[in-house]
Structure 1
Amino acid sequence: MASSAKMLEVPGPQGPRQVRVSSPDRVMWPDAGITKWDLAEYVAAVSDGFLRAVGDRPVTLQRFPGGIEGEEFFSKNPPRGAPEWARTVVCTYPSGRTHPQLVIDEIATAVWAVQMNTVTFHPWPVRSADNDKPDELRIDLDPQPGKGFTDVVEAAFGLRELMTELGLTPFVKTSGHRGVHVYARIEPTHEFLDVRHGVIGIARELERRMPELVTTAWWKEERGEKIFVDFNQANRDRTIASAYSPRPLPGAPVSMPVSWEQLRDVAPAEFTVRTVPSLLATDGDAWASIGDAVGRVGTALELWERDVADGLGELPFPPEYPKMPGEPPRVQPSRRKMAE
């Protein structure tokens, strides 16, 4: 029999709000014994840092109605029954289709999303007032088999140096899994395709500087034992788990902002739904100043333009994208060679 609902009180813009959490004893992470109520309390406990990361952004919800070992789906349309204080914004997708997505303006909306069995929050890199022009440049460093967290950290420091040279101020977080995410706030002056090209310019330059460690190869068979710079995360409707967002993995890990001074010494698995609230209360939010350092994507675009002048062109887009101008064939290199 389902457990009875509980009410969680959280701050609101004009006083406390009461958010109903049904089935609070539902176990979301069986290995860790973490329940839906635990998850709701976690989101409320990290509200300041979490809202700094997701606030005023369209958000895709990764939902698990029966816990992380059960059914999983992504909600782009807001779930039914959204509270009256929740806001939406219409987003345009690569297909040209449009529909509303949830915007989280206050922590009550995030707790309600947990009520709807959301585990991971995936915000767009845009603000709701103009969701065609990103205000965040995000780079996902993804270790391939044979590489570990120490290798990713080495690549991250190389990326930090490069981005700083370009006038950007990079901030870093664990992915909640094996990788590292590096972000920089930018002026919202360019559309997604331009920002993607800026990321490709950065990725190719990092690959030139660290050729034994870093790769921009889209096809897995060409990556080897390196760190893949996932440039396609810069595309429209491609998102990364937010700062402080739990991940649907054993142990309930969290994508955790850390300082660059801490990065070499952290153990990502230690950042969990159970541990992060006290760590945040003690150490503060490593991304507290991210909004104070806004750069321009134009310097990264200059790298792209230089490479285009040298004969380097477009790279593959995600498979759900329509065929894009200048894109190389979407065929695995090994299959392409067999056909020749």
Structure 2
Amino acid sequence: MASEATMLQVGDREVRVSSPGRVLWPDLGITKLDLAAYLATVGDAFVRANGGRPVSLQRFPAGVDGDDYFSKNPPKGAPDYVRSVEVTYPSGRSHPQLVIDEPAAAVWAAQMNTVVFHPWASRADASDLPDQLRIDLDPQPGTDVADAVPVARELRRVLADAGLTAFVKTSGNRGLHVFAPIEPTREFFDVRHAVIAAARELERRLPEAVTTNWWKEERGQRIFVDYNQANRDRTMAGAWSPRALAGASVSTPLDWSELDGVDPAAFTVLTAPDRLAATGDPWERMHDEPGTVDELLAWWERDVEAGLGELPFPPDFPKMPGEPPRVQPSRAKKQP
């Protein structure tokens, strides 16, 4: 017997959604069809933010309370409007990665039980060269998004001092993401150093509120600037992407004037479409005037000359030039 399915009109395409009544967010009763309809409604803004980039799909076949896994290359049976691009990973291995070019492709991904979309900071036609500088402001235990707001505002000033225009969004959880459009002329390693330079300057300006310490035991009750999110194949939830949290929150672009008192939980699969219709997309013109990371890299070189060198990489990366030992400080002190 044929499985239950429905057809959803997305632009000039019809996208088949099987098991449309499958509940993905049990607390709210949000179904797979609800998710597909959400992506169709915000589709233009979603594709503007995440389209044309290598993207990983975080899939939840049994809903957000169940197990998940990541898809990077298009599965068998993908429609012809879903393409892939060959990308190189930190290991040096190359592999095809999914690319979303239109809203129907995002809805198709929802049909495949995708909840969270993780786009690269580079575009498919130049996957080695990021065109976005991305900074993740991650509240540590004892802090929350209210503590991240003044940090984000100061980071905006730091980036302006480096000649960059900053844009902000909720992470969909407790933190904030700050992006700046850049010309795609530098490799990931350089952009990572630019992010570290900005993070260190932010830490100097707000030492009681900000930390760049990689090891959790050294962070304290501060906002961690997760510089390693700037690495190749490291991604954040994309703008307008749902999150796999009980409240079905969405990583939502904001105008800087909206930061005071912001509640990330207020922007959900159910509420974000009305917000977008009422206020428009604060990120619509993000890439009209990209900057460069040249000034930030000058700051990086200045800090290196002052004795501030490389910072730790994620544990799954190969050992990198100049990297300090990957040993938790409390354990390192016990070693003879």
TM-score range, shorter chain: over 0.9
Q: Report whether the alignment pairs 1:174 with 2:170.
A: yes
Which of 82, 88, 99 is the aligned partner of 2:84? 88
TM-superposition CA deviations, 1:100-140 (whole Å, max 9, x none): 01111111111111011000000001111110010000000
Q: Report whether the alignment pairs 1:139 with 2:162.
A: no
TM-superposition CA deviations, 1:206-239 (whole Å, max 9, x none): 0000000000000000000000000000000000
C-alpha separation in 2, matches of 1:286 and 1:253: 18
Helix, strand or coil at the partner of 1:61: strand
Q: Report whether the alignment pairs 1:44 with 2:56.
A: no
C-alpha separation in 2, matches of 1:126 and 1:80: 25
Identity over aligned pairs, percent: 65
Moved more, 259-268 or 61-70: 259-268
Helix, strand or coil at the partner of 1:327: coil
Correspondence for 1:234: 230
TM-superposition CA deviations, 1:20-47 (whole Å, max 9, x none): 0100000000001000000000001101
Correspondence for 1:109: 105
C-alpha separation in 1, matches of 2:44 and 2:55: 17
Q: Which amino acid is the alignment partner of residue 5 of structure 1?
A: A
Which of 122, 127, 132 is the aligned partner of 1:126? 122
TM-score by length of structure 1 reads 0.97
Correspondence for 1:287: 283
Query: Would you say the 8 A contact 1:3–1:24 is kept in 2?
Result: no
Which of 314, 317, 323 is the aligned partner of 1:321? 317
Correspondence for 1:75: 71
Correspondence for 2:10: 10
Q: Which amino acid is the alignment partner of residue 8 of structure 1?
A: L
Query: Would you say the 8 A contact 1:143–1:227 is kept in 2?
Result: yes
Correspondence for 1:256: 252
Query: Would you say the 8 A contact 1:186–1:297 is kept in 2?
Result: yes
C-alpha separation in 2, matches of 1:241 and 1:106: 18
Q: Which amino acid is the alignment partner of residue 6 of structure 1?
A: T
Q: CA deviation at 1:335?
A: 0.4
Correspondence for 1:274: 270
Query: Would you say the 8 A contact 1:124–1:237 is kept in 2?
Result: yes
C-alpha separation in 2, matches of 1:215 and 1:76: 32
TM-score by length of structure 2 reads 0.98
Which of 194, 213, 221 is the aligned partner of 1:225? 221
C-alpha separation in 2, matches of 1:210 and 1:230: 16
Query: Would you say the 8 A contact 2:74–2:82 is kept in 1?
Result: no
Q: CA deviation at 1:267?
A: 1.3
C-alpha separation in 1, matches of 2:289 and 2:27: 40
Query: Would you say the 8 A contact 2:74–2:83 is kept in 1?
Result: no
Query: Would you say the 8 A contact 1:3–1:25 is kept in 2?
Result: no
- Give the unaligned 5+ runs of structure 1: none
Give runs of aligned pairs for residues 30-69 of structure 1, distance below 5 A: 30-69=26-65
Helix, strand or coil at the partner of 1:125: coil
C-alpha separation in 2, matches of 1:234 and 1:85: 29
Query: Would you say the 8 A contact 1:90–1:98 is kept in 2?
Result: yes
C-alpha separation in 2, matches of 1:167 and 1:2: 58
Helix, strand or coil at the partner of 1:194: helix
